[in-house]
Structure 1
């Protein structure tokens, strides 16, 4: 039997129709994977950028809060101060002579530990405040014999506390406080470029139990009516009381290897430093124009700035002090006034690279403090 193949059937036998397979080709899968990867990378990049932005904002806020807390702390101490030195008397001119005694200051930095005046440390602000006597010393005062002889004069009777210069009747002694900028050095445990440290020369050592437990180089700045804060520690006869009258004679020798740090991440830039990489603007020299005797008193304005501009110190923290030198008050009985300025720098915080530190300075904080101390009180 012969089968006749029609053209259509013959075509189907010779050229069978291919069935289309389901799914994607390898090329389609590769394209889809590439597109998906790009989307994931873009999303991850966005997430990382948002995280870094939040981290940097948090770091800036934290540093600014720390600067504010430090400023408030110093302002509170200044409200308790009895005398604040301007830049001229902080720097000083060394031991006075008969001709310079009335017109210059010997300089606070010459009578505090040398560790506070090292290459990386710049004293900024110095002032005297009152400090209560230690509890053990107060107890000694209360139980001392000859209570009628407990005046604050070393010549009063034979009382041992009086001879040691203990101000039992007052119940407090004067304490010298100095703030300094401490720049970062290799091996530092602190992360910021600079920090603000605090030094205090008080009459008694920590944990003092007897009148003999006094700090080296301490002498009461007002032990005698002829003594002044500006000329401390010298007398009118040019005697250095730190070596001649102190119970523990000599210049203070604290090592300050681990000083008391008030705040980290302080800006360490100096006047003239660029405000940013490749920037044409520079950090300006602070101006204390309103702190002179008048608008033409350029010397008084320059001396009010502490520290002085002559040594071009770091300007992360500085102050303008009214009436803090020799004969600088406009009128007798003028209260001192202090303008504090503090700037932070977040370089060293998480997310901030040190090579971009010029960009990471934050806005400065300012505060004014009226001092209870009165210059040349009548």
Structure 2
């Protein structure tokens, strides 16, 4: 029994000595920390780079999707066009369009008349045979390049595109037509005394008695705001022969609609060919994905080394062209 007690005491004493002598020295801890830093720091840098690249790629992909969606929407709209205004035409009716008093921030790049299909617009029949007929109305549509006018900080620091539409009314009675007509709408007069279709359309005027016309609604944000004075590489490419560029950037162009310097971005322009029988437009859009990841206004302008973050897309659309007059 005494032997067992002695053995147990010796074991406890040995365990206590071992416990007291265990652990790491300060030198060992410092070496471990240095080794950990040497291993972890490159890994953290690698992870930060991956996350930053992923953020940039996500911004780029989002901008590409939005630009394509906006271009598809405009193309579907243009398929119903019966007449598209060139630069001279926009200059002629500019005073009849919204935001004419804010020309440093708003410019109507794409303006056209369309014959819009309205399904089930007019009730017909009575009782069991009651139903609805489809109809068509004329509408004036304008797509604006907008830059600035962002006092509430709702929009990005880039440019954006807005859409304006003024439509005629429809119905079985005069009262029905009046109640469904947009305030300010007035049809172009196909029987006026002007000799050509172009002259007829360029002399359109809105209903001056209306005081409340529809608003310009936003279509897409993050359109490149870089002006041609910032970087000449953003200038529009030459339009095909027979087509006119809108907006017209030529300085001192006689009668043509030239945008304010603030709006000469080259990020939204069209090439137009519009006659009595041919209505075709090429639409060009350029986005700015870099503005999604950078707030410094001087850093979000177009440059060659950031070109991939400024996606460009274009499409050509042929309208209906139903106005077969001189």
The TM-score bracket by the shorter chain reads 0.7 to 0.9
Structure 1 SS opposite 2:36:
helix
1:326 is aligned to none
Query: In structure 1, which of residues 176, 193, 216 is the aligned counterpart of residue 140 of structure 2?
Result: 176
Q: What does residue 271 of structure 1 align with?
A: 228
Between the aligned partners of 1:30 and 1:54, the Cα distance in structure 2 is 36
2:159 is aligned to 194
**Count of aligned pairs between the two proteins:** 276
Change (3 A) 1:286 1:58: same
Distance 1:132 1:334 in 2: 20
Tell me, in whole angstroms, the C-alpha distance in 2 between the residues paired with 1:370 and 1:334: 11
Distance 1:41 1:352, change over 3 A: farther
The whole-number CA distance in structure 2 between the counterparts of 1:209 and 1:375 is: 27
1:336 Cα deviation (Å)? 2.3
What pairs up with 1:57-68 in 2 under 5 angstroms? Answer: 57-68=57-68
Q: Which runs of 5+ in 2 are unaligned?
A: 1-20, 126-132, 252-258
Q: Larger radius of gyration, structure 1 or 2?
A: 1
Structure 2 equivalent of residue 16 of structure 1: none
Report the Cα distance in structure 2 between the residues aligned to 1:195 and 1:26, rounded to whole angstroms.
61
**Pairwise CA distance, 1:195:** 1.2
For 1:79 and 1:69, the matched residues in 2 are separated by 16
CA deviations 1:299-357 (Å, max 9, x no partner) are xxxxx11111143423211000013xxxxx5xxx6522211110000244246654420
* Offset of residue 198 of structure 1: 0.1
Under a length normalisation based on structure 1, what TM-score does the superposition of the two structures give?
0.63
Task: Provide the C-alpha distance between the structure 1 equivalents of 2:65 and 2:188, rounded to a whole number of angstroms.
Answer: 36
1:11-26 equivalence runs, <5 A: 24-26=24-26
- How large is the RMSD of aligned CA atoms in angstroms? 3.3
Q: Which has the higher strand share?
A: 2
Higher relative contact order (CA 8 A, sep 6+): 2
Structure 1 residues not aligned, in runs of 5+: 1-20, 92-106, 144-168, 235-239, 275-280, 293-303, 324-328
Do the aligned partners of residues 255 and 367 (structure 1) sit closer, same or farther apart at CA in structure 2, a change above 3 Å counting?
closer
Instruction: Choose between structure 1 and 2: higher helix proportion.
Output: 2
1:105-254 counterparts in 2 under 5 A?
Answer: 107-114=92-99, 117-132=102-117, 138-139=122-123, 171-184=135-148, 185-191=150-156, 193-204=158-169, 210-213=176-179, 214-224=181-191, 226=193, 228=197, 230-232=199-201, 234=203, 242=206, 246=207, 249-250=208-209, 253-254=212-213
Q: 1:161 maps to what in 2?
A: none
Q: How many Å apart are 1:63 and its aligned residue?
A: 0.5
CA distances 1:42-94 after superposition (whole Å, capped 9, x unpaired): 21221121011111101101101110111111111111111111112112xxx
Alignment CA distance shift 1:375-1:306 (3 Å): farther
Residue 272 (structure 1) shift: 2.9
Residues 116 and 180, structure 1, Cα contact 8 Å, conserved in 2 = no
Residue number in structure 2 paired with 1:291 = 242
Check conservation: 1:336, 1:375, Cα contact below 8 A. Answer: no
Cα gap change, 1:42/1:219 in structure 2, threshold over 3 Å: closer, same or farther?
same
